[in-house]
Structure 1
């Protein structure tokens, strides 16, 4: 089914030591689109210098990438591990130059730092020190998160993309307030109105303004369904099954899943694998 949407160009920025993360970020954007584009009205288009730039003479390499790629993008997602990158003649690295341009333009920046193990004999200590200094210099700007593996990166990115896109307003650029709203959630888990995961034994009432507390499965789009009602007892399990905590179009919040997960979600909630229509919400 066709639908109208606003396309946002998302620059994937990183040094050369995180190729797996670049692929994971690209995959995460496509997965987010599959679950959320129709309901949010946004499509996130991954933009990478490998696929969106072409050889041109007359400027330094990073200057060419800036003109062909960077300046046409609406937000930036970056990943780092042990390297900052190579100098461009203007900044310490191309990635740094891109990030600083986005921050100057007040466009959203989301940065993720790997904590996975590394062979100490292979570390360029100068690069690592430069990375630490850069991280410290922008610690109060944009979203900055750590991850231990690619799966954790994808989970955090998916969660924070949902927060960012929930807040954006589209003018000539994406409103930077979206990043500030997402940053305020960095230490929270999106489990309805529950406290952060740091207090997993504390539960709070989940409030949906126009529906009862009974848990029900609602047919939401061609490819997705939502779980409504008081799901506070199952929040961690629902998130583990790939649920996305969204604002539903009739008001309130709900967990959204691909319809491929219907049997798993039904079994978890001890419900029959049957979806109700929106007309049956009371």
Structure 2
């Protein structure tokens, strides 16, 4: 296999890899923990993350922020650190130097991450506090510790579950385990979301099919209704001409009226009355309004045959029907 083919295969595989960005916020007294996080991520990229087609990118201001200008140095960091998926905050004795917007640069980074989480439920927030004692030799160090404890209390009031650790070795185990758990949780969430998407897509397809069937049924119903209207019209032609005494029509009326009345009743009860009206209006355009109403029987939805009989009585022709 040529080198070019090997490189193409590698690029093809890389296209399927999901990148997870981890941002670390920590004051300078936890520099060892920063190195631990970097090593843990490197190990995960070789093993666990690689097996899941994931790549974890560690993002820190030291490596991802270049010189520039802003309201202050922290403002430049905020502008250039970019979006991320997981926020890891680590603390021991210091909170950091205040900015014009927050208690410290680290506190400001957390505040921005928390605001994003409140609105979008991302990034995930993982907070660690080292509980091992340290020598606080100066007033500044004591003040830093006091401010840090206040900050921790604020986090807990916001609903944070923080994790404490005793030393760097324990932190190394915890952060590796928690990153694996977080990535596994994301994988399950993605699978569930994909399942929901497939279900939603299937439901949309079913809905579209149902709408198509409804349209087809509507067309069929329209054809049936049109046919029924034509049937009514043709029958009423016989009734109308029979009212005028034309030969051959009365026998048809006597013979067909019982079945026709049953058909009209069925059509009326199933919403076809407008087609009966159309058929009648086509036949009786020369009638007066009152005669038309009686002929149609729209007040009580009387059957067309009964309306026709009423019309016969109004005309005084005295033609007998089976109803009389």
TM-score of the alignment, normalized to the shorter chain, above 0.5: yes
Q: Does 1:127 align with 2:139?
A: no
Q: Does 1:99 align with 2:130?
A: no
**Whole-angstrom distance in 2 between the partners of 1:16 and 1:136:** 21
Q: Does 1:136 align with 2:153?
A: yes
Q: Which structure's CA Rg is the greater one?
A: 2
Q: TM-score if structure 2 supplies the norm length?
A: 0.49
Q: Does 1:48 align with 2:65?
A: no
- The structure 1 residue matched to 2:41, chosen from 29, 41, 45, is 29
Shift of 1:85: 0.5
Aligned CA-pair RMSD: 2.3
Q: Does 1:114 align with 2:125?
A: no
**Whole-angstrom distance in 1 between the partners of 2:77 and 2:89:** 16
- The structure 1 residue matched to 2:93, chosen from 77, 82, 86, is 82
1:243-262 to 2 correspondences below 5 Å: none
- The structure 1 residue matched to 2:72, chosen from 42, 48, 60, is 60
Stretches (4+) displaced over 3 A: 140-143
**Whole-angstrom distance in 2 between the partners of 1:105 and 1:85:** 22
Residues 56 and 64, structure 1, Cα contact 8 Å, conserved in 2: yes
- The structure 1 residue matched to 2:26, chosen from 4, 14, 21, is 14
**2:184 maps to which residue?**
166
**Whole-angstrom distance in 2 between the partners of 1:167 and 1:24:** 22
Q: TM-score if structure 1 supplies the norm length?
A: 0.56
**Whole-angstrom distance in 2 between the partners of 1:22 and 1:44:** 15
1:189-268 to 2 correspondences below 5 Å: none
Question: Secondary structure, in 3 states, of the residue corresponding to 2:137?
Answer: helix
Which has the bigger relative contact order, CA under 8 A and spacing at least 6? Answer: 1
Shift of 1:120: 3.3
**Whole-angstrom distance in 2 between the partners of 1:160 and 1:90:** 31
1:261-280 to 2 correspondences below 5 Å: none
Residues 109 and 143, structure 1, Cα contact 8 Å, conserved in 2: no
Post-superposition Cα deviations, 1:130-165, rounded to whole Å, max 9, x if no partner, equal 111111111254551111111100111111111111
Residues 86 and 124, structure 2, Cα contact 8 Å, conserved in 1: yes
| Uncovered stretches (5+) of structure 1, i.e. residues with no partner | 176-282
Aligned residues: 171
Question: Secondary structure, in 3 states, of the residue corresponding to 1:137?
Answer: helix
**Whole-angstrom distance in 1 between the partners of 2:98 and 2:59:** 22
